[in-house]
Amino acid sequence: MRTRALALAGVAATVAALLSGASAQAAAPVLKAAVTQTSVWNGGYGADVTITNSGDAASTSWTVEFDLPSGTTVTSSWSSVRTSAGQHHKFTNAGFNGAVKPGASTKFGFNASGGSLPTNCTINAAPCGGGTTPPVDTQAPTAPTGPRSTGVTSGSVSLAWTASTDDVGVTGYEVLLGNAVSTTVTGTSATVSGLSPATAYSFTVRARDAAGNRSAASTAVSATTSPDSGGGGTVDVSTAAQLQAALAAAGPGQTIRMAPGTYRGSFVANGRAGTASQRITLSGPRDAVLINDGPTGVAPSCPAPTAGWDSGYGLWLFGSPYWNLTGFTVRESKKGIVLDDSHHVTIDAVSVHHLDEEAVHFRRSSADGVIRNSTITDTGLVQPGYGEGVYLGSANSNWACHGNSGGIDRSDRVQVLNNRIGPNVTAEAIDVKEGTYEGVIRGNTFDGQGISGQNSADSWVDVKGIGYLVEDNTGTFRSPGTFAHGYETHNTSTTPALPNGCGNTWRGNRSDLGGVGQYAINITSVSKCAALPNVVHASNTVTGAVKGLTNAPVTP
Tens digit of each residue's pLDDT (9 = 90 or more) over 468-493: 999 999 999 999 999 999 999 999 99
Per-residue pLDDT at 4 exceeds 50:
no
Given this model, what pLDDT does residue 12 score? 43
- Map out the domains of the chain as residue ranges: 31-127, 145-225, 356-550
Whether 145-225 and 31-127 are alike in CATH topology: the answer is yes
Q: Return contacts of 134-138, CB within 8 angstroms, 24+ apart.
A: 134/37, 134/40, 134/538, 134/556, 135/36, 135/37, 135/38, 135/39, 135/40, 135/556, 137/40, 137/167, 137/168, 137/209, 137/210, 137/211, 137/213, 138/211, 138/213
Please write down the HEC assignment for all residues of 363-393.
ECCCCCCEEECCEEECECCCCHHHCCCEEEC
* Strands annotated E in 293-442: 313-318, 323-326, 329-331, 335-340, 346-348, 351-353, 360-363, 370-372, 375-377, 390-392, 415-417, 420-421, 430-432, 440-442
Once rounded to an integer, what is the mean pLDDT over residues 284-306? Answer: 95
Element (H, E) at 237: strand 234-237
Supply the mean pLDDT for the chain.
90
Report the distance separating Cα 176 and Cα 183, nearest Å: 7
Residue 334: alpha-carbon gap to chain centroid? 29
Domain 145-225 top-level CATH class? mainly beta
Q: Which helix (H) or strand (E) holds 121?
A: strand 119-123
The pLDDT score that the predictor gives to residue 6 is 38
Show the CA angle centred on residue 355, arms to residues 351 and 360, nearest 5°.
Answer: 55
The one-letter amino acid code at 381 reads L
The average pLDDT across 329-358 equals: 98
The reported pLDDT for the residue numbered 2 is 40
Give which of 200, 215, 216, 219 is closest to 147, Cα–Cα: 219
The residue-averaged pLDDT of 371-375 equals 97
333, containing H or E segment: none
Q: Over pLDDT 90: what percentage of the chain? A: 76
Most confident of 110-124, 149-163, 208-222, 290-304: 290-304
Give the C-alpha separation, 556 to 549, whole Å.
14
pLDDT digits (tens, 9 = 90+) for 174-205: 999 988 888 989 899 999 988 888 889 999 99
Name the DSSP class of 194. S
Q: Quick check: 148 pLDDT over 90? A: yes
Indicate if the pLDDT at residue 279 is higher than 70: yes
What's the CA gap between 120 and 476, in Å, rounded? 35
Q: Which CATH class is domain 31-127?
A: mainly beta
Residue 183: strand, helix, or coil: strand
Q: What is the mean pLDDT of residues 289-313?
A: 95
Give per-residue pLDDT as tens, 396-445.
999 999 998 779 999 999 999 999 999 999 999 999 999 999 999 999 99
CA dihedral 257, 183, 351, 401 (to 10 degrees): 90
pLDDT in tens, 25-55: 557 889 999 998 877 766 778 889 999 999 8
The DSSP bridge pattern shows strands 63-67 and 88-93 to be: antiparallel
Is the model's pLDDT at 9 over the cut of 70? Answer: no
Task: With a cut of 60, say whether residue 142 has pLDDT above it.
Answer: yes
CA dihedral (484, 489, 493, 495) positive or negative: positive
